[in-house]
A = this chain, B = another copy of it.
């Protein structure tokens, strides 16, 4: 990894995800120039002022020209069109990679227009905070976080290795995973919990037996538990829609477990309830 270097990195979407990659690579001294590309002028100016990027443009074609690595960090639903627009302007041998939370849909959106002389490495750094925008970015966001890469049949080994090293340099633990497995695992550990949290808040919020909003009685536990229900509705609509098959499968699995639990409560099955709770506590205690 000693000779890793990116002469020019283009970051499309200079927010928390894109900006933090730029800052991490800059901190490691392994990038020559970072060009930020986006639509919002004030965010790009802020990124320049904060040293997240060395230059910026609102012109995608100009921004990606001559870039060795192009990191797409825009919303999942936009990755296909952004990639298509950038494609004619990429230099031969350039590596395109992304940070989308779902992978099959992104691959399906990008590969049909992928040039033979451009590499594409689908990726997903599992990191984030509640904040967004260039001023939320920080160099250590990816340290000790997992980053999953899901190469396709068209992904060249040399490009995969370069992007693997890139994420390792900013501190991530990189996993190479089959696309389908990524989407199923993320449906289980991330997308399903968000659906559960959103449904829980709506179910409790809709409780209209009393004249007051009973959410007002919620203590710290409920607020902590439902924190992810405050996530961005647009982003989660897009994730739900682009990972539908895997997500519906996990939602059904959850429904089955919840229905079993409800039956045990309704019938007062004390031993089964204890065992259900014990098993859950044990599973969770093992991962912390």
Where the two chains meet, the residues of A that have a C-beta atom closer than 8 Å to any C-beta of B are 126-128, 145-146, 181, 184-185, 188-190, 192-193, 195-207, 209-210, 213-219, 221-234, 236-237, 240-241, 244, 247-248, 250-259, 261-262, 265-266, 268, 270, 273-274, 276-281, 283-288
Decide if the interface of chain A is mainly helix, strand, loop or mixed.
Answer: helix
Contact in complex: A225, B258 (CB < 8 Å): no
Q: How many copies does the complex hold?
A: 2
Contacts of A259 in B (CB 8 A): 255
Contact in complex: B192, A200 (CB < 8 Å): yes
Report the nearest B residue to A234, measured CB to CB: B274
Question: A207 CA to B191 CA in the complex, in Å?
Answer: 14
Query: Which 3 pairs from chain A and chain B are nearest by CB?
Result: A233-B277, A205-B283, A203-B257
Contact in complex: A203, B277 (CB < 8 Å): no
Contact in complex: A193, B221 (CB < 8 Å): yes
Contact in complex: A223, B192 (CB < 8 Å): no
Shortest A113–chain B CB gap in Å is: 23
Decide: A233 near B192, CB < 8 A? Known: A218-B287, A227-B225.
no
Report the nearest B residue to A214, measured CB to CB: B185
Contacts of A203 in B (CB 8 A): 192, 250, 253-254, 256-258
Given A126-B217, A188-B204, A193-B200, 9 more A-B residue pairs with CB atoms under 8 Å apart are A126-B219, A195-B265, A198-B277, A199-B261, A202-B280, A225-B227, A225-B228, A230-B285, A247-B265
Report the nearest B residue to A215, measured CB to CB: B287
Contact in complex: B190, A222 (CB < 8 Å): yes
Contact in complex: A233, B265 (CB < 8 Å): no
Can you list 29 pairs linking A and B with CB atoms under 8 Å apart?
A: A126-B217, A128-B221, A145-B219, A181-B210, A188-B204, A189-B222, A195-B261, A195-B262, A195-B265, A196-B258, A197-B225, A197-B280, A199-B254, A203-B254, A205-B280, A207-B253, A213-B286, A221-B228, A223-B287, A229-B284, A230-B284, A230-B285, A234-B274, A237-B270, A237-B274, A244-B266, A248-B262, A251-B265, A255-B258
Report the nearest B residue to A273, measured CB to CB: B237
Q: Which of B217, B236, B285 is within 8 Å of A146, CB to CB?
A: B217
Decide: A273 near B219, CB < 8 A? Known: A196-B196, A258-B251.
no
Question: A266 CA to B202 CA in the complex, in Å?
Answer: 19
Contacts of A254 in B (CB 8 A): 199-200, 203, 258
Report the nearest B residue to A223, measured CB to CB: B288
Decide: A224 near B224, CB < 8 A? Known: A276-B198, A277-B236, A287-B215.
yes
Question: A145 CA to B225 CA in the complex, in Å?
Answer: 18
